[in-house]
Structure 1
């Protein structure tokens, strides 16, 4: 039997990103894109986090994240500061402007979630998310190439 889970997850991610960007555009939210929304989503939940922690939470490589954070800083969404306990560490925080965008992003996210789970029962959604968490855990636990 041929399994297509990885391919389907990749396609879902692509389509989800395009749909989110489309919704943002339709709602005239031009301050950030879908990928930056992923960063904002984490920072709305917890600020004052290091780039390394943000990388882990978003699943973005540090070099990719660094470029995105530079753009977000230029557009006034975030600011960086040195950790008072460890000056080598840079902490990321949101601006008031970024906080002002949270409600609109949440509404768009809810709309997409409704589309995502259309025709699913509550039980199916719960079970599906359990499966996704298991897949994520499996993938995160692999750190070496198999030979």
Structure 2
């Protein structure tokens, strides 16, 4: 009976995505612990390393997180000296997020992470690139549905 349940689970796309996501996050954990950031905080940093500043709303959209999840995380990041949160001078309802010097400095310390994760996957680079393209298309399709 157990084997049948396992086979059924392995046929479920949602389970495969969920299980892979959990395993991937586990692989990131020891690497991010060295930086003293969580995986969601790392995602915020990745976005801010690419752009000078983002609004809380835009961060939420890009990370697919609601403000109830995002705001406490950003407060912790601010308390840890990684970011600053400031009301926009153009729109007081909007809160801008920017990296501090400490947050910027983490970029150099984190530059090894993508290669380490890639090495752990054990897959050919083209296989991984194809998977990313497929997953991005799936995400867009699901969001549009």
Q: TM-score, normalised by structure 2?
A: 0.85
Aligned counterpart in structure 1 of residue 143 of structure 2, from 131, 136, 140: 140
Instruction: Note the residue ranges of structure 1 that are not aligned, 5 or more in a row.
Output: 143-147
Structure having the larger proportion of residues in helix: 2
Per-residue CA shift, 1:64-122, capped at 9, x if unaligned? 00010010010001001121211211100000001111122121222102222x23252
Which structure 2 residues correspond to residues 1-147 of structure 1 after superposition, within 5 A? 3-25=11-33, 28-30=34-36, 32-116=37-121, 118-120=122-124, 122=126, 124-142=127-145
Instruction: Note the residue ranges of structure 2 that are not aligned, 5 or more in a row.
Output: 1-6
Aligned residue number for residue 145 of structure 1: none
Q: TM-score, normalised by structure 1?
A: 0.84
Q: CA RMSD in A?
A: 1.8
